[in-house]
Amino acid sequence: MGAESTSKTTPESGDKNDKKKTQVVLNVYDLTPANNYSYWFGFGVFHSGIEVHGKEYGFGGHDFPASGVFEVEPRSCPGFIYRCSVTLGHADMPPSEFRKFLQTVATDYHGDTYHLISKNCNHFTDDVSCRLTGKRIPGWVNRLARMGVLCSCLLPESLQSTTVKQLPEPREYSVKT
C-alpha cells in the first residue's frame, strides 16, 4: 500500500529566493501485531510521522497543555514498529521557514488534546501534508479512527477518552513565543 522512499532536499533550479524543494514523506508504524493481517484488508491501528528535511515529526498525548509535537530520526519512532514510507509530494520551503511553519501548526496540537479517535497522530500528519503538498495521507492509515467516529455511540466510554502516550525518549517540539 505504500512505497519505500527517503527524504531528499534538492535546489530548485532558477528560483530567485534560493528555496529548496524537499520531499514530504509519511512514515507509518504498527501499533499492534494484528496489523500483519488487517493491513491486507485496508485497515489497522497505525501511528504515523511526517518526514521533512531529514527529520520526522509526530504528535502524541501527554497531560499538559503544551505542544504534543515531537521530533525523531526518520523511521525510528520509539515504541512503534516501522511498517513503510509513502512519498506524499514536495514542499518548496527551506528548513528555517519549515520550522516556523511547524511552530504554528504545533499550537493546534497540544498533548492534552490528543484523542485516539478524533485527534491523533494521523490527523496531525494529514493536516501537515495538506498544508505542505495539498495532498491527504492514504485513507488506510487512519481508516479505523474514521470508522470509530461513525460508530462512537457503540464504543465504550473508556475507549472514547483513550490516548496513546508517547514514550519520553523523543524530544518534544516546543513552540517559542
Name which of 142, 156, 111 is nearest 43 in CA terms. 142
Active site residue 121: yes
pTM over cut 0.75: yes
What is the four-CA torsion angle of 133, 134, 138, 141, rounded to 10 degrees?
A: 80
pLDDT of residue 156: 46
Tens digit of each residue's pLDDT (9 = 90 or more) over 126-165: 999 999 999 999 999 999 877 755 554 444 454 444 444 4
Name which of 22, 60, 39 is nearest 172 in CA terms. 60
In the set 47, 53, 62, 90, the catalytic residue is 47
For the chain, the domains span 22-151
**Gap between the Cα atoms of 25 and 90, Å rounded:** 9
Q: What counts of helices (H) and strands (E) characterise the chain?
A: 5, 7
In the set 53, 90, 110, 121, the catalytic residue is 121
Tens digit of each residue's pLDDT (9 = 90 or more) over 26-70: 999 999 999 898 888 887 899 999 999 999 999 999 999 999 999
Active site residue 47: yes
Instruction: DSSP for 35-48, please give it.
Output: HHHHGGGT---EEE
